[in-house]
A and B are shown apart, each in its own frame.
Chain A
Amino acid sequence: QSVLTQPPSVSGAPGQRVTISCTGSSSNIGAGYDVHWYQQLPGTAPKLLIYGNSNRPSGVPDRFSGSKSGTSASLAITGLQAEDEADYYCQSYDSSLKVFGGGTKLTVL
């Protein structure tokens, strides 16, 4: 059972907008810790998608955006494309530990 809760799966048609939630508690996200998001394409290593709640590394399209409020964070993907089909993970901190969400599989219909 992950400390951060994500929906196991989400789906959307090409061009649509989808959001992935990451729900924590007062000991992690609610304590003010940053949330980072990673994308993992099948058979590859994870890739940093969003850092510090809402910042995009160089090279990440602006179709990807992150936000945080209270004890939760969200990843939004607009203009969904076939190549966005992947697993997505949120990551934060809980006391001195680094914690991941359980992951969300995004299916592009």
Chain B
Amino acid sequence: EVQLVESGGGLVKPGGSLRLSCAASGFTFSSYSMNWVRQAPGKGLEWVSSISSSSSYIYYADSVKGRFTISRDNAKNSLYLQMNSLRAEDTAVYYCASPRRGSGYYLPFDYWGQGTLVTVSS
């Protein structure tokens, strides 16, 4: 059974940093591209970032480019999101998501974690 478990969320002041983790199990993590998607309270879904299976290709939404860094450790079956220069508008539940098969970019988000809440407030 595929499992994605996010952690690392919490309360942080504007301008602060936070590192999210996503522990994957139940599939060959190193063969799949991975993604972060967020959802602000009461709002819709917003794609944040994607990383290919070997970390060769990385993409960011314009809203986080230059502040967030996605990475992965295939040996540890883990995905990360380093978030710097956080703003109030980054407050959201952050989900990691993966396709069911393949490492391509244009794949749906088949599997989702339960999400971790990041609150940016003074």
Measuring CB to CB, which residues of chain A are less than 8 angstroms from any residue of chain B?
A: 2, 33-34, 36, 38, 40, 45-48, 51-52, 57, 87, 89, 91, 93, 96-103
Contact in complex: A45, B108 (CB < 8 Å): no
Q: How many residues of B contact A (CB 8 A)?
A: 21
Residues in A whose Cβ lies below 8 Å from that of B115 = 45
Measuring CB to CB, which residues of chain B are less than 8 angstroms from any residue of chain A?
A: 35, 37, 44-47, 50, 59, 61-62, 95, 100, 105-106, 108-110, 112-115
Q: Taking A96-B59, A97-B59, A98-B50 as contacts, is the C-beta distance between A57 and B110 under 8 angstroms?
A: yes
Contact in complex: A47, B35 (CB < 8 Å): no
Chain B binding surface SS class: loop
Q: A46-B37, A46-B95, A51-B110 are in contact. List 18 more A-B contacts (CB 8 A).
A: A33-B106, A36-B108, A36-B109, A38-B45, A40-B45, A45-B114, A46-B112, A48-B108, A48-B109, A48-B110, A52-B108, A57-B100, A91-B45, A91-B108, A96-B105, A97-B61, A98-B59, A100-B46
Residues in A whose Cβ lies below 8 Å from that of B108 = 34, 36, 48, 51-52, 91
